[in-house]
A and B are shown apart, each in its own frame.
Chain A
Amino acid sequence: MSDPAPLDAADLVRRAKSRAGVEPSDEAASGAPSLGVGAEKLLVEAAYYHPAWKLPSGARLKVLRKAAVMPLSVYTDRQNQLNSDLIAAFSSLLIDCQALEARVARLEADAAGRSATGEADTDCS
């Protein structure tokens, strides 16, 4: 049997929300900047691991952590005062996106390497 087509989690969620009658609360609806899945991953990665960030303290880190998995509009609606911090955080993050992408790629390559050399869990071989 050939491999099935990829399952798209975002599409599943979108369809489930549509059927449940839940309005998409994404950024496009509010006119706020869009936070794509790729940027989201990078943002979390940066907030936790990127040496340049050195675990920024207080509201900035909190906003970063939460923004990483929530629509930006939730924050801009409820906590306008934090919005400028968030935008600033994005701006500085974007400079380092390539480095972060490379890090993610390395992690994945490392995992693939472990698999190829037989270090992987044999339960699933």
Chain B
Amino acid sequence: MRRVGVVTSWGSRCGIAEYSRSLLAAVPDGRFEFLVLADDDVEFADGPTRVVRCWKRGDSDVRGIIEAAGREGLEAVVFEFNWGYLNPGPMAAALDALHAAGVRTIVQFHATAGRSVGDRHETLGDIARELSAVDVLVAHSDADEAELLRVVPTARVVRTVLGQRPFPDEPIAEVRQALGISDRAPVVATFGFLIPHKGVVELIRSVPILARTNPGVCFLAVCAVIPTMRASVELRYECAVEVRRLGLEGRVALVHEFLPENVAMMLLHAADLIVLPYGGTRESASAAARFALSSSRPVATSDAPIFDALGDAVYRISDITPDGLARSIDQLIADEEQRSRLVAAARDLTAMSEWPKLGRDFANLLDSVFE
């Protein structure tokens, strides 16, 4: 078996950690032996995959990664890139060292747009030379694919999607009964880590407007707080204060616990509609949207580019002010045919992006770098 390292977050409250865990679990047994080269942020048990914790998020010291690759005899190393994790400079240093040692490399991009830090603007173009030596660059959206080819025209760029796990549907009335909310309708939900750009406060503010035409409306925010992210913790309070200020204690439930997937899915199964009104984000694809699409409930999103890959499986809302959200939600709640169309399109999309298929694709991709 070939020995492959994966530089990623792992066992923490983080979308990339969840992605990596699902992806490695989906790779067929017997072809690769994975070693996770993780940062030091750990909350949950490592699981069956071997893990070495050898770097820190946002830090420039990559010696731990290089040493682990040599010590463990890794033949290939996969990097999961996003800003704030292993930033371009340190990643380039690690890539250089690995290439010099004859190690194959793959970089999966969870963001490609540049960022500004103070008066300095950083882009992937800063490390074009190092990226040009990478065997495969993996993009999660058309925009990312185009950007990577612009930065490194000679690169081998492969387009893939975030995976989805199928969940059996449950009758909405039965779920609401079990949750003790059978007297509430319509139920609107949102899902994902609690981060300011996700529009949770705007959704809370849309509830009183919705209640004018939907007296029984309630809103479930299934949004795990990230305790190591100050903005997330602050937003938790902002949401709670907003609910109190608007007198919505009877209409809004703020669920901030990090829940097992099947429990989170059960809460989404109580919903008539799931809304993800994200504002601007540098991220390329939304794992939260993929999860919501697996719920057999209609999903509405903003028109942020992060949702572009979802096509007609989601309803796009361009006006994500509280008034605009209320208008669109109201319209969708009243349009059962439209909601059915969305659910059917989401099922088709889910079928094309189930983890077992992505696991096989990833294994084939790894094989290809040794050919």
Residues of chain A within 8 A (CB-CB) of B220 are 12
- Give residues in A with beta carbon < 8 Å to B: 1, 3-9, 11-13, 15-20, 22, 44, 48, 62, 65-66, 68-70, 74, 78, 107-108, 111-112, 114-115, 120-121, 123-124
Within the complex, which residue of A62, A65, A69 is in contact with B257, where a contact is CB–CB below 8 Å?
A69
**Complex CA distance for A78 and B230, rounded to whole angstroms:** 25
Q: Is the CB of A66 within 8 A of B227?
A: yes
Q: Is the CB of A20 within 8 A of B241?
A: no
Interface residues of B in 217-257 (CB under 8 A from A): 218, 220, 224-225, 227-228, 230, 233-234, 236-237, 241-242, 244-247, 249-257
Q: Is the CB of A16 within 8 A of B208?
A: no
B351 at the A interface (CB under 8 A): no
- Give residues in B with beta carbon < 8 Å to A: 43-45, 175, 178-181, 183-184, 205-209, 215-216, 218, 220, 224-225, 227-228, 230, 233-234, 236-237, 241-242, 244-247, 249-260, 262-263, 266-267, 321-323
**Complex CA distance for A67 and B250, rounded to whole angstroms:** 28
Residues of chain A within 8 A (CB-CB) of B263 are 13, 16-17, 20, 22
Nearest opposing residue in chain B for A2, CB measure: B250
Q: Is the CB of A8 within 8 A of B184?
A: no
Given contacts A6-B250, A7-B253, A121-B322, contact A111 B218 (CB under 8 A): no
Q: Is the CB of B259 within 8 A of A13?
A: yes
Interface hub of B255, B258, B266, B322 (most chain A Cβ within 10 A)? B266
Residues of chain B within 8 A (CB-CB) of A120 are 245
A-B contact pairs, 11 of them (CB 8 A): A4-B218, A7-B253, A9-B254, A12-B220, A12-B255, A16-B179, A16-B259, A20-B260, A112-B244, A120-B245, A124-B246
Q: Is the CB of B227 within 8 A of A65?
A: yes
Q: Is the CB of B241 within 8 A of A7?
A: no
**Known A7-B252, A111-B245; further 6 A-B contacts with Cβ < 8 A:** A7-B184, A7-B250, A13-B255, A44-B227, A48-B234, A124-B205
Residues of chain B within 8 A (CB-CB) of A107 are 237, 241
Nearest opposing residue in chain B for A8, CB measure: B253
A36 to chain B, nearest CB (A): 13
A73 to chain B, nearest CB (A): 13
Given contacts A3-B250, A66-B43, contact A15 B205 (CB under 8 A): no
Residues of chain B within 8 A (CB-CB) of A4 are 183-184, 216, 218, 250-251
A17 to chain B, nearest CB (A): 5
**Complex CA distance for A4 and B184, rounded to whole angstroms:** 9
Given contacts A4-B218, A123-B209, contact A16 B227 (CB under 8 A): no
Residues of chain B within 8 A (CB-CB) of A12 are 179-181, 220, 253, 255, 267
Q: Is the CB of B180 within 8 A of A123?
A: no
Given contacts A7-B218, A7-B250, contact A121 B241 (CB under 8 A): no
